[in-house]
Amino acid sequence: MKQIKILFILIGISILIAMMQTSYAADRREGIESFPESYQPYLRELQKNHPDWRFISVYTNLDWNYVLDNENKFGRSLVPKSYSDRWKNTTPGQYNVEVDAGWVDCSRRALEYTMDPRNFLNEVRMFQFEALSYDEKTNNLQGIEKVLYGTEFYNRIVDYVTSTGNVITMNSKYSDLILSAGRTANVSTYHLASRIKQEVGPFLSHSSISGRVAGFEGLYNFYNIGATSSAEPMGAIKNGLQYARDGKGASQATKDKYLIPWDNKEKAITGGGIFIGSSYIHLGQDTLYLQKFHVTSNTNEELFWHQYMTNILAPYSESRSIYSGYVNTGMLDNSMTFIIPVYENMPTLSTPNPNVNENDYLPDNTRVYADVTGTLNVRCGPSTSYEVITRN
């Protein structure tokens, strides 16, 4: 009899776990009509200007406040220490504590602002929701060079330093290596180029890719993979270079898969691209947004922990680089797919940018009429530095 009771208990637990996993399983639907009404006006405006853009809603089946509670854990989402207190966690004992050099924990309002997709459904910031798999029709060398423009990677032949200090010059440009990496990894080459700019900046002298860090000579990490936060000087970079050396204790099969050690720039760019594809994009985290905010999974694993970056504005920043690349190559009107999350019990109105002081705007139901002879731009914030939502 005891064995039967234990069996029933185990079955019950299994059913409960299965129900929990099912309740959090994301449901993807296509078309503007599949979105909540609060999303639809922005998407219709975008489709009016870009008829070949395709929109997919991802119903996460997660409660909005539950998501915020889980994402709002100390050290999980960071902002630069130089930001105003409206962006920062001001809890005593956590305020201005550097989780990584120059980076501190964010405020809940900053998290609400950056997590609400409705704040970014405009032509520029939409690209944090762009599907990130490789597309033969749109990915090309010209587009990659446009993304790299303004950096030292632009139109530049690749050279690198070996562990013994020798300088090797290749016959390839950085755009060649990125295009090859995208094809191999089945990852958007524009995403890889933008991610490199985001992670190491515009200069080849960045310590993650210089090949000259003491103790890590001849090692490269273009995407700062494994560069976990550390209060030690250059701690995050050293952690990333340790990953480039041996995968931080990874199995030989894993190291072979990712081409580790990354002891030249081609292996680092391609192997890192394979890592991003297999560890994020092909697991359901197939947009910049979903790589930052781990709210979906194809593997029924625990959510919220598997994030590529801690900077809450990384998707926002990278989206402009991708947008600029498409504009400069004349590909903005190409067929593109955007994957946009939806949460349960979202507020009727999205949280404004933390820089906006709501007390400056009294809820007096004032109506404003404009007599415009030229073009009237409606923007997502109270200055011309904000992106245009619609124009008439």
pLDDT tens figures, 114-170: 999 999 999 999 999 999 999 888 889 998 998 899 999 999 999 999 999 999 999
Instruction: Return the pLDDT at 297.
Output: 83
Instruction: Return the pLDDT at 375.
Output: 57
Instruction: Return the pLDDT at 100.
Output: 87
Instruction: Return the pLDDT at 15.
Output: 37
Q: How far apart are CA 195 and CA 277, in angstroms?
A: 13
Instruction: Return the pLDDT at 376.
Output: 58
Structure tokens at 329: 């190559």
Q: How far apart are CA 5 and CA 117, in angstroms?
A: 47
Angle between helices 189-200 and 314-328 (to 10 degrees): 130
Instruction: Return the pLDDT at 390.
Output: 56
For the chain, the domains span 2-350
Instruction: Return the pLDDT at 366.
Output: 53
Q: What is the DSSP string of 292-306?
A: HS----SS-PPSSS-
Task: Supply φ then ψ for residue 275, to 5 degrees.
Answer: -60, -50
Q: How far apart are CA 295 and CA 74, in angstroms?
A: 18
Alpha helices in 72-185 (DSSP H): 108-115, 141-148, 174-185
Instruction: Return the pLDDT at 162.
Output: 98
Q: How far apart are CA 390 and CA 392, in angstroms?
A: 7
Q: How far apart are CA 65 and CA 343, in angstroms?
A: 9
Q: How far apart are CA 31 and CA 158, in angstroms?
A: 43
Q: Residue for token digits 């200055």?
A: 383
Instruction: Return the pLDDT at 5.
Output: 45
pTM: 0.73
Instruction: Return the pLDDT at 192.
Output: 95
Q: In what order do the strands lie in the sheet with 53-63?
A: 27-30, 53-63, 336-344
Q: For the chain, which ranges sit under pLDDT 50?
A: 1-2, 4-23, 369, 392
Instruction: Return the pLDDT at 364.
Output: 55
Q: How far apart are CA 271 and CA 275, in angstroms?
A: 6
Which DSSP helix (H) or strand (E) runs through 40?
helix 40-49
Instruction: Return the pLDDT at 53.
Output: 96
Task: Report which residue type is found at 264.
Answer: N
Q: How far apart are CA 309 and CA 224, in angstroms?
A: 9
Q: How far apart are CA 154 and CA 67, in angstroms?
A: 39
